[in-house]
Amino acid sequence: MIAGSVARRYARALIEVAAEDDHHERVGKELEAVAHALAVPEARHLLANPSFSEEQRRELAEALGKELRLSPLSRNFLAYLVDRQRLGSLEMIARVYGDLLDKKVGRVRAVVTSALPLEHRDLNHVREALEKATDRTVVLEAKTDPAIVGGLVTQVGAMVYDGSLKTQLERLRDELKQAGE
């Protein structure tokens, strides 16, 4: 809980500063890129091991800033996290920042799962239907899972719409069992 509140505090502050120059989208992408880079085992080891100095962590942040061509705001934010010994919280900060940014710009993320890969036009139909239902812009991620047999399972935020053939067959089986009792 404490880590989550810390991440929210840092993410809120960063999004306010980024919004002043209308760089909030760029900063969001940069945070994701840094979080991805810090997910490699060597970087995780450097962040978690207390035998590495603050100077070594600062050098890592500077190297990432150069390698990823980060904006000055993102570079300064990384340096600030190093100074506050919060670089290890960057992944959670990036996630919270992304959520705040989505809310700020009226966007929602959704995942659609189908038994077979969906064609581009089918994905567009799903996206359009979700945008109409949510009255927001939808960023859609497509996944495949042969176990659902057919139909679609769509998750928008915490809400799951399960129109899979597997679930319909399970419901039918349960209804037949109850009718036979």
The distance between the two most distant Cα atoms of the chain, rounded to a whole number of Å, is 71
- Whether residue 14 contacts residue 27, with contact meaning beta carbons closer than 8 Å, is answered with yes
For the entire predicted model, the pTM comes to 0.76
Cα angle at 54 between 53 and 58, to 5 degrees? 120
* Cα–Cα nearest to 122, from 138, 150, 142, 139: 142
Confidence check: pLDDT of 167 > 50: yes
Domains in the chain and their CATH numbers? 2-103 (1.10.520.20), 107-180 (no CATH)
pLDDT digits (tens, 9 = 90+) for 46-80: 777 778 888 888 888 898 899 999 999 999 999 99
Residue 154 structure tokens: 């769509």
Q: What is the pLDDT of residue 55?
A: 87
pLDDT digits (tens, 9 = 90+) for 112-138: 999 999 999 999 999 999 999 999 999
Q: What is the pLDDT of residue 124?
A: 95
SS3 for 148?
Answer: helix
pLDDT digits (tens, 9 = 90+) for 133-160: 999 999 999 999 999 988 899 999 888 9
Q: Which of the four pLDDT bands, split at 50, 70 and 90, describes residue 1?
A: very low
pLDDT digits (tens, 9 = 90+) for 92-106: 999 999 999 999 989
SS3 for 50?
Answer: coil
Residue 143 structure tokens: 């996944």
Alpha-helical segments (H) within the chain: 2-20, 24-37, 41-48, 54-67, 72-83, 90-105, 120-134, 165-180
The C-alpha atoms of residue 170 and residue 116 are separated, in whole angstroms, by 20
The C-alpha atoms of residue 45 and residue 34 are separated, in whole angstroms, by 15
